[in-house]
């Protein structure tokens, strides 16, 4: 890429350059395709590069702008989609080579929405098999390389390739899905922004499912402002996803820059700070001082609902039980060909009885009701996105026991949000002594994405963490696999 700084430009910055005539959608797309070719051999973020489609969409975007048709701030901006999202003519493998022939006949609903906003799809990114894992490891197709360290560190999952692609400057935005933390967790470990939306806000039609109850769609971006722009385009009702019916879109941009003066924020002390890496805890607690300096009221509160949600042992089988329904044929006919860690965890879902499944969901509904009541006077919660930063792949994946231990620790703080139906934003709030990113998570009540984004944006504007980028000299010259 002739201008490396361009690789880490925000969507807002790129849009301004395009409208000023300093950059064309075609030139930008060609530059990012060149960067993918140069770096992805080592990063392993992309399972498929849709070069022809990308260039065709970029040319169409450029011609439309020349003709006076401006579709908004996303017009002409390249992006990638996690390999759960259907893209017409491209396999949706969901992280397994067994689905290499699962070629999509049409685009997922959100891919169509972004096309309608003028965005340019450059490819699909690797994911954990069936999106069922938090560390980002895929023993079948390979594990993306966290760009912040030359030694292979875990990227977080399951939107692993999407986080790596954004963090490495291969695209300014990538779509992810979040069932137990799969947008926020890799965003935290790779130093990007990740938005977890409330179920019902964004259509999942055309997205390979893990858990119909908990699956949500959200963007990974470089800035909170970029996440808000993309979310604004993604939300809306879709008859093919009944969870969206009756959920009216809302404007998250109107008050995005409104700051936090007068807002009530809280450090959630129950569970979220337990057994947290000291560097992570220090960085997150220091964020409270930033918010106070911006005029917010910040206190510490107990959130017993979080501990109750995670103490129910049967919860571990709930997602697996739903996943077993979607993947029954592969589990029954090709069990030994699946990623062994994923397959053995998933098959455990068949142990959950129907009465226990029903009782668990009623328990979750009650916890959600109680939490909303508890947060009546609180606008947002502040917690560590993950209990620890990225660790070396060899350490995490040394044994099945090591994998399980790390997976649980990485997922704990994010999975609580899915169970309790919160929306949330993860954004960078510091770095470890090793130079690895630390994520701050801003949780807001259900369907209050505007609040979560506004709070996160205020912190982002007051700090410089999001402006740091990894040194990728070690990744140059690799051949794409």
Residues carrying an active site annotation = 82, 158, 182
How far apart are the C-alpha atoms of 111 and 175, rounded to whole Å? 9
- Three-state secondary structure call for residue 381: strand
Q: Is the CB of residue 234 less than 8 Å from the CB of residue 108?
A: no
The backbone torsions φ and ψ at residue 292, rounded to the nearest 5 degrees and listed phi first, read -65, -40
Distance in angstroms (rounded) separating the CA atoms of residues 324 and 348 = 9
Distance between start and end Cα atoms, the chain: 20
What's the CA gap between 385 and 429, in Å, rounded? 10
Q: Can you read off the two tokens belonging to residue 217?
A: 């769609």
Compute CA 244 distance to the chain's CA centroid, rounded to the nearest angstrom: 20
Six-digit token string for 227: 């996440």
Cβ-contact 23, 233 below 8 angstroms: no
Checking phi first, is residue 26 left (phi over 0); if not, alpha (psi -120 to 50) or beta?
alpha
> Between vectors from CA 465 to CA 283 and to CA 287, what angle results, nearest 5°?
35
């Amino acid at each position: 890429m002739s201008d490396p700084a361009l690789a880490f430009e925000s969507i807002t910055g790129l849009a301004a350059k395009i409208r000023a005539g300093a950059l064309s959608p075609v030139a930008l797309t060609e530059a990012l395709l060149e960067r993918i070719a140069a770096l992805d051999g080592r990063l392993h973020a992309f399972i498929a590069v849709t070069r022809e489609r990308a260039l065709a969409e970029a040319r169409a975007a450029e011609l439309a702008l020349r003709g006076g048709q401006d579709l908004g701030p996303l017009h002409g901006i390249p992006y990638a989609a996690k390999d759960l999202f259907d893209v017409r003519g491209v396999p949706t493998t969901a992280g397994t080579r067994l689905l290499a022939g699962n070629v999509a006949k049409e685009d997922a609903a959100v891919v169509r929405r972004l096309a309608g906003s003028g965005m340019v799809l450059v490819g699909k990114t690797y994911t954990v098999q069936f999106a069922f894992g938090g560390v980002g490891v895929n023993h079948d197709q390979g594990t993306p390389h966290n760009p912040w360290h030359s030694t292979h560190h875990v990227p977080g999952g399951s939107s692993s390739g999407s986080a790596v692609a954004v963090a490495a400057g291969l695209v300014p935005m990538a779509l992810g899905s979040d069932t137990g933390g799969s947008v926020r967790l890799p965003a935290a470990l790779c130093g990007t922004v990740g938005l977890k939306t409330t179920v019902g806000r964004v259509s999942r039609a055309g997205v390979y499912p893990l858990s119909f109850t908990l699956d949500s769609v959200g963007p990974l971006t470089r800035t909170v402002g970029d996440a808000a722009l993309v979310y604004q385009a993604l939300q809306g009702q879709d008859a093919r996803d009944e969870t969206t019916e009756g959920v009216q879109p809302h404007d998250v941009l109107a008050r995005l820059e409104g700051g936090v003066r007068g807002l009530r924020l809280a450090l959630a002390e129950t569970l979220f700070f337990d057994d947290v890496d000291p560097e992570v805890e220090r960085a997150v607690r220091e964020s409270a001082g930033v918010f106070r300096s911006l005029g917010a009221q910040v206190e510490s509160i107990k959130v017993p609902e979080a501990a109750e949600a995670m103490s129910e042992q049967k919860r571990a089988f709930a997602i697996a039980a739903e996943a077993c329904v979607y993947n029954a044929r592969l589990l029954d006919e090709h069990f030994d060909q699946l990623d062994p860690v994923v397959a053995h965890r998933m098959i455990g879902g068949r142990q959950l009885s129907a009465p226990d499944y029903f009782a668990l969901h009623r328990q979750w509904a009650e916890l959600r009701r109680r939490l909303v009541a508890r947060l009546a006077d609180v606008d947002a919660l502040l917690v560590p996105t993950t209990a620890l930063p990225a660790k070396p792949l060899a350490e995490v994946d040394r044994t099945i026991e090591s994998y399980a231990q790390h997976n649980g620790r990485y997922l704990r703080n994010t999975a609580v949000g899915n169970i309790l139906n919160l929306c949330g934003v993860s954004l960078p709030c510091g770095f470890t002594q090793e130079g690895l990113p630390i994520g701050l998570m801003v949780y807001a009540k259900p369907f209050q994405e505007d609040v979560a984004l506004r709070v996160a944006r205020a912190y982002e504007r007051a700090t410089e963490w999001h402006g740091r980028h990894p040194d990728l000299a070690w990744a140059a010259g690799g051949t794409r696999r």
